Structure 1
Amino acid sequence: MLDDLDAVLEEEDQPAKSDSPRLSPRGRGGRSAIALFLTLLLFGLLAGGGWYGYTKVKGLFTDEDYSGPGGAEAIVQIKTGQSATEIGTMLFGQKVVASPDAFVAAAKENARSKNIQAGWYKLKVEMKASDALTLLLDPKSRWVTKVTLPEGLTYQQTFQALSKATKIPVAAFEKAGKNPVGLGIDASWFTRSDGKKIDKTDIEGFLYPATYELSPKADATEVLKTIVANFNTQMEQMEFAATVRKSRGGVTPYEALIVASIAQAEALKDVDMAKVSRVIYNRAYGDFDCKCLGLDSTVNYWLRITGKGSKASEHLTNADLHNPKNPYNTHDKKGLPPGPIGNPGQVAIKGAMNPTNNFPYYYFISVDTAGTMAYGKTGEDHAKNVLIACQNGIPLC
């Protein structure tokens, strides 16, 4: 471009040839106009290049950022352990912030930025980075499905509660729940010392009671994996398996989990969990004559999961209590039932791990509506406690 301009200017300085009598000042002015145009064009390019260079240099010292509050909704996921740079890059990729550096700069200026929790959030496209950070620190911006699973629910009741909270069909949870090992339960759990067969598709007992914050985009399998992962964490923290193997004289962790589920169903007060567990161990593994548990709760569990409906103890018939086809009939069948009869909480689990020592009882019963438990060593002791319960309004007589 500079060479072309020089050529034009040199031509302007040359005298007119003698054989060009028609050359006039007007023609000369045309070439001057071209030169002027090229000169202005050159300066324009130089100015534009200077501005481009300025903006590039400016970018080295300031972070590109949006100024407004944002527009359309943007759903983003923050994962556990992500750094500010990783979050900023993700937000930039979803057009929430103008640059990763803008978010990093905002995070550096806010001491609370380290408190961002993992989960899904509702933000907006083209937000000011500091505004995006503020929303990530606001619990109300988290997009989660929260569900509380109380102690003692059966797997069916758990699936119903999960379905209600997540809008995922119960059938999807039933299908996913048929593979406990695939959900994260170690296969070593499915062992027993009494030789009874275990149904390895039975997820009962492994759905730990707690309040869960679930991903709104999770399917049934992912939801159950979250719950099972918490079960595993809780068992590890309580050292459940190691304690049972060391102190329960050959009883396996799975059997102890069954005991915990029964204690959860039978004892209304925390103080009785370890005592009821001891009575169950005494009956199943001690010198109790029939080595049967004789519990209505196990009979009712089978009635419930087979769709027949549970009954109050006073309404259970002899046919119900002594049904030979009921695998959870503990009135006639020795030892523990085939599996847990619900999902026990921490107190019941600890009670099964460490049942009350020096507690030589074989019977227990709630003797009032508050759930006060009485214990007996003999059938005669138990009969007296039943009478007390009847006098206190418990409909057993």
Structure 2
Amino acid sequence: MIDELDVAFEEDAEPSGSRGSHRNRKGRGRSAIALVMTLLLFAVLGGGVYFGYTKVQDFFVAADYDGTGSDPVEVTIAKNSSLTEIGNALVKVDVVKSTKAFVEAAEAEPRSKNIQSGTYVLRRQMAAEHAVIQLLDPNTRLSRGVTIPEGKTAKQTYELLAKGTGLPVKDFEEAAKDPVALGVPDWWFKRNDGKQVSKTAEGFLFPDTYEFDPKANATQVLRTMVGRFLTVTGEMAYADEVQRNRKVSPYEALIVASLAQAEAGVPADLPKIARVAYNRAYVKDMVLQFDVTTNYWLELNGKDPKHSGNLLQKEMDDPKNPYNTEVVKGLPVGPINSPGKAALLGSMRPTNGPWLFFVAIDKKGNSAFAVTDADHQKNVQKACANGIDLCGK
């Protein structure tokens, strides 16, 4: 192409004359053709560049819908979801066109870090920006988080669940009558110490914050909590380790975890209190004398729990109480609450020590531990001096 242009320009430079005029006309014709071809070449090249730019631009610009969407659709956002995971969930039900568009819109909105887990009513084919706005609107959220703290009894848990889900307490009580149907494996209800087993859901309703499906019934809610318990204990290899290292059944270790959860004022004391329970129940064959088991029995019978110093002797010695640890040796018949992961870990790996006594010695909840009753009484006096109501008991 360039050679032809060079020839054409050279021919244009010939001197005038009849021959030159002919050659000049011929040269002008070739020049015109060359010019057209050059312009055509530039047009093709320019079109290619534009086409390529458009494709590259499409690659970097996220696909997105326009407007506020069409048909309503429910979307469940899982707990601790990242923006990408939320975007994926929205794309799956056609709320937004691409995860990238949602992530970009969310990152442009500082409040997007406040998007909570739960079930929302959104619309199909929404612009990503509108989807972010709707997820931040509490009116679009159907479900509400229900938090069950560590150490809550089953009865207290049902009350919290009823408040959070709108389902009646009696529905949870009825569903809990068969813990195996809720997913608790039957082997959990085995003991090595030959004592009676309380086959209830107590201890298996793992404390956590849950986002329940708004359509879930009481059985489904409790199954979710039992499933969480099994997941956590499975990840800890809890059952295997307590049988191998503690030489007790998983159920007995769970009872110890619940006792420690109820007695400990601070998390650091959980493994030490678990050690006291093991030492008394298995090493020394003693009564535990854990006042929390008396309070648990009072609650089961519709009575309010009491401070240790206010418990009556007849309440602590009640022979009808299967959870009695004041006059009955060994562990009670079952857990007395839902222990959290730290308490489970404490019962699985208790601190090494010969302690047989403990008492809360300050208002922060810290406990002092002792091997002998004489040292224990010194700790009791220290607790009294710190304003803990124990003296006179």
| Shorter-chain TM band | 0.7 to 0.9
Rounded to whole Å, the distance in 1 between the matches of 2:87 and 2:363 is 55
Q: The residue matched to 1:218 in structure 2 has which SS?
A: coil
Rounded to whole Å, the distance in 2 between the matches of 1:128 and 1:74 is 11
Deviations 1:157-199 (A, max 9, x none): 0110111111110001111111212212111111101111213
Could you tell me the TM-score, scaled by structure 2's length? 0.72
Is the aligned partner of 1:371 residue 2:370? Answer: no
Equivalent residue number for residue 362 of structure 1: 356
Equivalent residue number for residue 395 of structure 1: 389
Contact 2:361/2:367 (<8 A) preserved: yes
Q: The residue matched to 1:341 in structure 2 has which SS?
A: coil
- Which of 232, 235, 240 is equivalent to 1:234? 232
Deviations 1:239-284 (A, max 9, x none): 21111011002x0111001001100111111111111100100000
Q: 1:83–1:274: structure 2 CA closer, same or farther, 3 Å change rule? A: closer
Superposition deviation, residue 329 in structure 1: 1.2
Q: 1:307–1:387: structure 2 CA closer, same or farther, 3 Å change rule? A: same
Rounded to whole Å, the distance in 2 between the matches of 1:292 and 1:83 is 53
Residue identity in the other structure for 1:205: G
Is the aligned partner of 1:384 residue 2:383? Answer: no
Is the aligned partner of 1:330 residue 2:328? Answer: no
Equivalent residue number for residue 15 of structure 1: none
Equivalent residue number for residue 244 of structure 2: 246
Equivalent residue number for residue 205 of structure 2: 207
Contact 1:107/1:113 (<8 A) preserved: no
Contact 1:261/1:343 (<8 A) preserved: yes
Q: 1:130–1:313: structure 2 CA closer, same or farther, 3 Å change rule? A: closer
Superposition deviation, residue 138 in structure 1: 5.6
Equivalent residue number for residue 177 of structure 2: 178
Equivalent residue number for residue 341 of structure 2: 346
- When structure 1 is superposed on structure 2, of 263-272 and 387-396 the one drifting more is 387-396
Contact 1:123/1:135 (<8 A) preserved: no
Could you tell me the TM-score, scaled by structure 1's length? 0.71
Rounded to whole Å, the distance in 2 between the matches of 1:226 and 1:268 is 29
Superposition deviation, residue 130 in structure 1: 4.3
Contact 2:183/2:223 (<8 A) preserved: yes
Contact 1:375/1:382 (<8 A) preserved: yes
- When structure 1 is superposed on structure 2, of 320-329 and 371-380 the one drifting more is 371-380
Contact 2:87/2:102 (<8 A) preserved: no
Identity %: 45
Rounded to whole Å, the distance in 1 between the matches of 2:280 and 2:89 is 58
Rounded to whole Å, the distance in 1 between the matches of 2:104 and 2:129 is 13
Rounded to whole Å, the distance in 2 between the matches of 1:160 and 1:135 is 33
Superposition deviation, residue 124 in structure 1: 3.2
Rounded to whole Å, the distance in 1 between the matches of 2:298 and 2:308 is 13
| Unmatched tracts of structure 2, length 5 or more | 1-63, 108-114
Residue identity in the other structure for 1:229: G
RMSD: 3.2
Q: The residue matched to 1:375 in structure 2 has which SS?
A: strand
Residue identity in the other structure for 2:345: K
Rounded to whole Å, the distance in 2 between the matches of 1:77 and 1:374 is 47
Q: 1:374–1:66: structure 2 CA closer, same or farther, 3 Å change rule? A: closer
> After TM superposition, what 4+ stretches of structure 1 lie above 3 angstroms from structure 2?
65-68, 70-91, 106-119, 127-143
How many residue pairs are counted as aligned between the two chains? 317
Contact 2:203/2:338 (<8 A) preserved: yes
Deviations 1:71-102 (A, max 9, x none): 675434579999999966745xxxx7xxxxxx
| Unmatched tracts of structure 1, length 5 or more | 1-64, 97-102
- Which of 307, 311, 323 is equivalent to 1:312? 307
Rounded to whole Å, the distance in 1 between the matches of 2:289 and 2:344 is 21
Q: 1:128–1:360: structure 2 CA closer, same or farther, 3 Å change rule? A: closer
Q: 1:117–1:385: structure 2 CA closer, same or farther, 3 Å change rule? A: closer
Equivalent residue number for residue 292 of structure 1: 287
Residue identity in the other structure for 2:192: S
Rounded to whole Å, the distance in 2 between the matches of 1:264 and 1:78 is 32
- Which of 298, 303, 319 is equivalent to 1:303? 298
Is the aligned partner of 1:265 residue 2:265? Answer: no
Superposition deviation, residue 109 in structure 1: 5.1
Rounded to whole Å, the distance in 1 between the matches of 2:134 and 2:241 is 42
Residue identity in the other structure for 2:361: V
Q: The residue matched to 1:172 in structure 2 has which SS?
A: helix
Residue identity in the other structure for 2:177: K
Residue identity in the other structure for 2:325: T
Q: The residue matched to 1:180 in structure 2 has which SS?
A: coil
Rounded to whole Å, the distance in 1 between the matches of 2:362 and 2:76 is 51
Equivalent residue number for residue 278 of structure 2: 281
Contact 2:118/2:144 (<8 A) preserved: no
Q: 1:266–1:83: structure 2 CA closer, same or farther, 3 Å change rule? A: closer
Q: 1:318–1:139: structure 2 CA closer, same or farther, 3 Å change rule? A: same
Q: The residue matched to 1:121 in structure 2 has which SS?
A: strand
Q: Superposition pairs for residues 119-134 of structure 1, below 5 Å?
A: 120-124=119-123, 127-128=125-126, 130=128, 134=132
Q: The residue matched to 1:303 in structure 2 has which SS?
A: helix
Q: 1:267–1:110: structure 2 CA closer, same or farther, 3 Å change rule? A: closer
